[in-house]
Amino acid sequence: MTKTRLKSLILQISRQLNAVQKNVYNLDLVTAIDHKQLQSISVQFNELYGAIDGFYGNQTQKHLSNFMEYTDLVKKRIDALAEYIRPSRLKAVHISPKLITQILDTEQQALSHLTVTA
């Protein structure tokens, strides 16, 4: 695994987040499909985390530690968002598409930061 491959994994996740964001924005609606897509992105974060761990091995550099912690933090926020828009909640409560779009934009910025620091 190379740094280029790590960056491509991050960019792939970023593109998928962008697709979810555009879907929510264009439909002006949050759907169960968005929930499933966020769960799939979370699985890709697990793969990314494993790839980072495998690439850097047992190095104990501060940069690596921060990079892995930041990756984990972004994953946890995506998981929290997926939980927030779970299908049972969508049926009971109106969830603002504008809010979800703003949150996804923040995560896009975080992924951009990850790409730069990789």
| CB of 114 closer than 8 Å to CB of 31 | no
Beta-carbon neighbour count of residue 59 at 10 Å? 9
Residue-wise pLDDT tens for the chain (118 aa)? 678 888 899 999 999 999 999 999 999 989 899 999 999 999 999 898 888 877 776 565 666 778 888 888 999 999 999 999 999 888 888 889 999 999 999 999 999 888 887 7
For residues 10 and 114, the answer to whether their CB atoms sit within 8 Å is yes
pTM for the predicted model, two decimal places? 0.84
CA quadruple 83, 20, 45, 64: dihedral sign: negative
DSSP state of 96: -
- For residue 61, the SS3 value is coil
Contact 38, 20 (CB under 8 A): yes
**CATH number corresponding to 3-117:** 1.20.120
